[in-house]
Amino acid sequence: MSEKTVVEYVLAAPWLVPIRPHGVLEQHGLAIGQGRICDLGPQVELRARYPSARWIDLPHHVLLPGLVNSHTHAAMSLLRGLADDLPLMTWLEQHIWPAEGRFVGPEFVATGTRLAIAEMLRGGTTCFNDMYFYPEAAAQAVVESGIRASLGQVVIDFPTAQSRDAGDALRRAEMQILQLRDLPRIRQSIAPHAPYTVPDHALREAKALARSHGLFLHMHVHETAQEVENALSQDGRRPLQRLDELGLLDEHFLAVHMTQLTTEDLDLVAQRGLRLAHCPESNLKLGSGIADVAQWQARGIPFGIGTDGAASNNDLDLFGELRTAALLAKGRDGDTMALAAAVALEAATLGGAMACGWGDSIGSLEIGKLADCIAVDLDHPATQPLYDPISQLVYCAGRDQVSHVWVNGELLVNEGRWTRLDWPGLRAQAQTWARRIAAKDRQA
Ligand SMILES: CSC[C@H]1O[C@@H](n2cnc3c(O)ncnc32)[C@H](O)[C@@H]1O
Ligand SMILES: [Zn+2]
């Protein structure tokens, strides 16, 4: 930090989980100034060092980095509950894609993204990695809300609300990258939807575009067994192998889902340095499979945790997702260490930050990092008595216990209430959309 940074306030709590280094610090505080963490240390020392800074006491709370949602389709919050209990391709082809074709446009995306941001912020998510149409409308919602996001420029090779085919989508992406480039708290990716919806030439172009702008690729890969089987019968290769032969796979590639990996696939993922996004609840609900996160860890493959969209999850609750991830891995393998609590929490914070284009700037509470931070109130029957705050956070705390949320040092949730957001107005807009969508759905 520069010598001149002025400490504006100090957050003080009985427990602080910095993520890096591992462990729990007791009676520590964070000094914040100009949107960054300027100091971190025992409260007695911070009091002496910054006698005139505003002191914010959080007497029953644990402070930790804001959670990072490594994969979502924020605007799909408006399609929550529209089609449940279906496998992926039936869900997409018979319900979601027709609904998106009818309703998606900039207004839909702006309202849906605002609704998703409201839900995510209240639940302790300070950054999300999005893949959806009209990212410029999502960007507007991000800027006005104060949250942080990586927004994907979608590439898909069929007619959608926003483009005719993959070539058209790529041309649009190229222009939009420049439009969104300098917006605050926004980074971007190129997001080819999936191996089965984007042809080789467009994947090569997507990679070239990403490279030329220093962006990462964000793609659904090996989500279901059917995806892999279809690719094998149509093309003779597994999708990952095809992506590798096209030169796409490296540390700037975020592969989402990855529930279907052989030993050879896992070796390739590790060799190429891919980053993965684990979305256990969406994978369960769509019956897609269960990712082998123990093998990911055994090979040192970095990963984050994502909710996927609210139309397949059906919530954007990263605390719930964390718990599902930690429990599911143990049940899958009969191994209680398949995903330990502290590892799951690291994936939902630092792992997500690294996977979604934010490098080392967020995801842990360390001096010099951006001040994205949350307080969870442990004075609740669900989290008492207390032996280990990390255990409480992963195995029993609910998102309603998130009391305060700061992004870039700005307080966006104060004692469980949004500071910037107009909830009655937003709820009315979301309900207007729901009436329209339900009316059409009844006609169909
Ligand atoms: C091209 S914008 C994103 C596109 O993806 C669809 N989608 C949502 N969830 C999933 C999923 O789990 N697998 C594949 N595709 C998904 C969404 O409806 C949009 O059309
Ligand atoms: Zn998805």
**CB distance 151 to 116 below 8 Å:** no
Q: Is 220 annotated among the ligand-binding residues?
A: yes
**Confidence class for position 423, pLDDT limits 50, 70, 90:** very high
Nearest ligand, CA of residue 152? 1
- For residue 28, say whether it is annotated as part of any ligand binding site: no
pLDDT for residue 441 is more than 80:
no
| pLDDT tens, position by position, 270-313 | 999 999 999 999 999 999 999 999 999 999 999 999 999 999 99
User: How far is residue 394's CA from residue 89's CA, in Å, rounded to a whole number?
Assistant: 32
Using a CB cutoff of 5 Å, list residues around ligand 2, an ion. 308
Counting other chains too, the contacts that 382-391 makes at CB distance below 8 Å and 24 or more residues apart are 388/24, 389/15, 389/17, 389/24, 389/62, 390/17, 390/24, 390/341, 390/342, 390/345, 391/341
Which one of 2.30.40.10, 1.25.10.10, 3.40.50.300, 2.60.40.10 gives the CATH number of domain 9-65+370-418? 2.30.40.10
- Give the E-state strand segments of 125-185 in sequence order: 125-131, 148-155
CA of 349 to the centre of ligand 1 (A): 23
Residue percentage of the chain with pLDDT more than 90: 98
* Any atom of ligand 1 within 6 Å of the Cβ of 308: yes
Tokens representing residue 223 in the block: 């989500």
Distance (Å, whole) CA 103 – CA 109: 10
Q: What is the pLDDT of residue 280?
A: 99
Half-sphere exposure of 128 (CA within 13 A, CB side): 35
Concatenated DSSP letters of 409-435? TEEEEETTEESS--HHHHHHHHHHHHH
Intra-chain end-to-end CA distance of the chain, in Å: 59
223 lines ligand 1 (CB under 6 A): yes
pLDDT at 198 over 80: yes
**Which candidate, 387, 264, 282, 384, places its Cα nearest to that of 328?**
282
Domain boundaries, the chain: 9-65+370-418, 67-355
Can you say whether residue 214 is alpha, beta or left, with left for phi > 0 and alpha for psi between -120 and 50 degrees?
left
Give the tokens for residue 68.
């990072």
Q: What is the pLDDT of residues 200-211, one digit of tens each?
A: 999 999 999 999
pLDDT tens-digit map of 25-75: 999 999 999 999 999 999 999 999 999 999 999 999 999 999 999 999 999
To test the pocket of ligand 1, the residue of 155, 165, 172, 193 to mutate (highest count of ligand atoms within 8 Å of its CB) is 193
Ligand 1 atom nearest 286 alpha carbon: 12
Mutate to test the pocket of ligand 1, among 71, 72, 73 (most ligand atoms within 8 A of CB): 73
Asked if residue 222 belongs to a known ligand binding site, the reply is no
- pTM for the predicted model, two decimal places: 0.98
What does the pLDDT read at residue 5? 78
ipTM above 0.90, yes or no: yes
- Of all protein residues, the one whose alpha carbon is nearest to atom 3 of ligand 1 is 132
213 is in an annotated binding site: no
Whose atoms come closest to the Cα of 282: which ligand? 1
Q: How many CB atoms lie within 10 A of CB 49?
A: 14
pLDDT band of residue 1 (cuts 50, 70, 90) is low
The dihedral region occupied by 178, where left means phi > 0, alpha psi between -120 and 50, and beta the remainder, is alpha
The residue whose CA has the least distance to atom 9 of ligand 1 is 309
Q: What is the mean pLDDT of residues 104-118?
A: 98
According to CATH, the superfamily of the domain at 67-355 is Metal-dependent hydrolases (3.20.20.140)
Cα 190 to ligand 1 centre (Å)? 14
Which protein residue's CA is at the shortest distance from atom 14 of ligand 1? 220
